[in-house]
Structure 1
Amino acid sequence: MDLTLLYRGPLASCDYDCPYCPFAKRRDSRAALTADRAALERFAHWAAERREDRLRILFTPWGEGLVRSWYRRALVELSRLPHVERVAIQTNLSCRTEWLDEADPDTVALWCTYHPGQTPYERFLGKCRALAARGIRFSVGIVGLPGHLAAARRLRAELPAGVYLWVNAAEGHTYTDEEAGDWTALDPLFPYSRHPHRSAGLPCRTGESVVSVDGDGTVRRCHFVRAELGNLYDGSYRAALRPRSCPLAVCDCHIGYVHLETLPLYDVFAGGVLERIPAGPPGAPTGA
């Protein structure tokens, strides 16, 4: 079986205080952290044992995972397995980077977000340069708020030339064409993020070759559709995998709409869908 898994355990704590995030500066109790660690280790053990499958794994924690040793260890160990094609995580990059020396750089990857005001710019840029020096695959992004434009321009000018800088449209923000043009000049793929994508009744890879998994092993087609397909650990989800159309009116998150078959994003991000790295220089989309 060829399968992409989006894993999100119970972790909901973060070391940043971003005003646009409901999990900012949230603290998990010791019991919650213990439960998250146990859930992640169970998932990583399951993935390690699926030697007959071809797996791609993206960790999408509500909080910041890489400040926790069990996430770093899982990425290292999973990256070394021959049947794991890619293992990646969304991160604010507040963690140290030396641990990546133990990972397979051909398999591990990071989806990094810069949050102005939460960490010194030079510190974040320095960590990006450290990743590049280690040969780690990574993308860097920013939320497209007006106050972030100068920082985004500086990032684009100072990041290594081959690093893709993506821009997420800010939730609830309406962009004028002029504003959208400023962001598109930095990220030619920004038009895909600017507006939600109509998805109702359209074919999507989620539920067939892509699934979402929570800390209990409950499998859903994606993070945004709550209907359950079964459980990862008893194998009941496998019989439910099949081509599906989307039941929602629109899809407005990259980790969702990237899997829509009506969009060309699997070609745009060929080989880098999970870590959001285009296969080549991104070009401005038409009809996005």
Structure 2
Amino acid sequence: MSLPETLSVLYRGPLASCDYDCPYCPFAKRRDTPGQLRADRAALDRFTDWVAEQAGANPGTRLSVLFTPWGEGLVRSWYRAAVTRLSHLANVERVAIQTNLSGRVEWLAGCDRSTAALWATFHPGQTPYDRFLAKCRRLGELGVRFSVGVVGLPEHLADARRLRADLADGVYLWVNAAEGRSYTDAEAALWQELDPHFHYSRDPHRSLGLACRTGDTVVSVDGEGTVRRCHFLPTELGNLYDGSFAARLRPRPCPAASCDCHIGYVHLEPLDLYEVFRGGVLERIPAGWGR
């Protein structure tokens, strides 16, 4: 099995539990059974072992990993251990995870902070503002790369403005367009003032037939090791652990009519977002921001 020189892997295991109760999320306050948690831990351990093994199996490949759990991963010890372990592997260029920052952050002191990064989301009404801000400031003290974002709902605007004012200038604040919401130009301008790249999120991108890096140098992997182009396309490319996916990696156009999620459209080549987010594609940090 031969892999390309660079490969980004978006991993989403069976974990679906979250400690928050966001009204716009179907996984709010969902709980996994002990058996489901054990299965998630075993799947994650298997995945991190695979990444480590590639140092010998594919020494010319640089891997980047983004964990995109349906639930909150960092309240689970095995996700903290996985990020820490992967950050120290010589064949890993970046390891990042999406998180609500509800858990402790001191464990990041044990990571290689030049490799580990966080994609953090602030959910007003789910956690005290001051608590969230204090964790962001602690991340800065620890030297952790991170971005912070909010969902662009009208009721979040005041908190988003406050957060932008209180965060260090070098911390990028992103805004996700609320799912299914249409923004007037006046409404969009309010969010654009906070996030200079909000226009990329404002409306779904027409993607049918466009060149996309997914399925070539970017793949999605689930807890069973099933490899797909991305989280939003069901067609399977093979399995990570038997290596069957590797022969199917190649450039190909997007078969979907549109793409409305950052972890998908950031890989559309005509948008040139790899240049916009150069050095921080997975953790959503634009070039020129952060460390």
2:45 aligns to what? 41
Distance in 2 of aligned mates of 1:88 and 1:183: 25
Counterpart among 4, 7, 10 of residue 11 in structure 2: 7
Distance in 2 of aligned mates of 1:237 and 1:54: 17
Paired-residue identity, %: 72
TM-score normalized by structure 1?
0.97
* Alpha carbons 1:220, 1:227 under 8 Å: kept: yes
Distance in 2 of aligned mates of 1:186 and 1:83: 36
Which AA in structure 1 matches 2:40? D
Give the secondary-structure state (helix, strand or coil) at the position aligned to 1:16.
coil
Counterpart among 159, 174, 178 of residue 170 in structure 1: 178
**CA distances 1:141-189 after superposition (whole Å, capped 9, x unpaired):** 0000000000000000000110000000000111111110000000010
Distance in 2 of aligned mates of 1:220 and 1:163: 32
1:141 aligns to what? 149
Distance in 1 of aligned mates of 2:169 and 2:189: 21
1:22 aligns to what? 26
TM-score normalized by structure 2?
0.96
Distance in 2 of aligned mates of 1:177 and 1:33: 44
1:270 aligns to what? 278
Equivalences for 1:92-241 in 2 at 5 Å? 92-241=100-249
Give the secondary-structure state (helix, strand or coil) at the position aligned to 1:167.
strand
* CA displacement at 1:250 relative to structure 2: 0.1
Give the secondary-structure state (helix, strand or coil) at the position aligned to 2:270.
coil
2:258 aligns to what? 250
**CA distances 1:222-244 after superposition (whole Å, capped 9, x unpaired):** 00000000000000000000001
* CA displacement at 1:281 relative to structure 2: 5.8
Distance in 1 of aligned mates of 2:43 and 2:101: 23
2:268 aligns to what? 260
Distance in 2 of aligned mates of 1:44 and 1:255: 21
Which AA in structure 1 matches 2:31? R
Give the secondary-structure state (helix, strand or coil) at the position aligned to 2:235.
strand
Give the secondary-structure state (helix, strand or coil) at the position aligned to 2:159.
helix
CA-based RMSD: 0.9
* Alpha carbons 2:201, 2:261 under 8 Å: kept: yes
Which AA in structure 2 matches 1:18? C
Which AA in structure 1 matches 2:267? H
* Alpha carbons 2:164, 2:194 under 8 Å: kept: yes
Distance in 2 of aligned mates of 1:67 and 1:281: 27
Distance in 2 of aligned mates of 1:170 and 1:57: 26
Matched residue count: 282
Distance in 2 of aligned mates of 1:211 and 1:244: 13
* CA displacement at 1:280 relative to structure 2: 2.0
**CA distances 1:101-124 after superposition (whole Å, capped 9, x unpaired):** 100000000000000000000000
* Alpha carbons 2:11, 2:222 under 8 Å: kept: yes
Distance in 2 of aligned mates of 1:61 and 1:214: 10
Give the secondary-structure state (helix, strand or coil) at the position aligned to 1:222.
coil
Distance in 2 of aligned mates of 1:275 and 1:24: 23
**CA distances 1:121-146 after superposition (whole Å, capped 9, x unpaired):** 00000000000000000000000000
Give the secondary-structure state (helix, strand or coil) at the position aligned to 1:50.
helix
Q: Which blocks of at least 5 consecutive residues in structure 2 are unaligned?
A: none
Which AA in structure 1 matches 2:223? G
Give the secondary-structure state (helix, strand or coil) at the position aligned to 1:230.
strand
Give the secondary-structure state (helix, strand or coil) at the position aligned to 2:224.
coil
Which AA in structure 1 matches 2:143? G
* Alpha carbons 1:268, 1:280 under 8 Å: kept: no
* CA displacement at 1:55 relative to structure 2: 0.2
* Alpha carbons 2:276, 2:286 under 8 Å: kept: yes
Distance in 2 of aligned mates of 1:119 and 1:252: 27
- After TM superposition, the runs of 4+ consecutive aligned structure 1 residues lying more than 2 A away are none
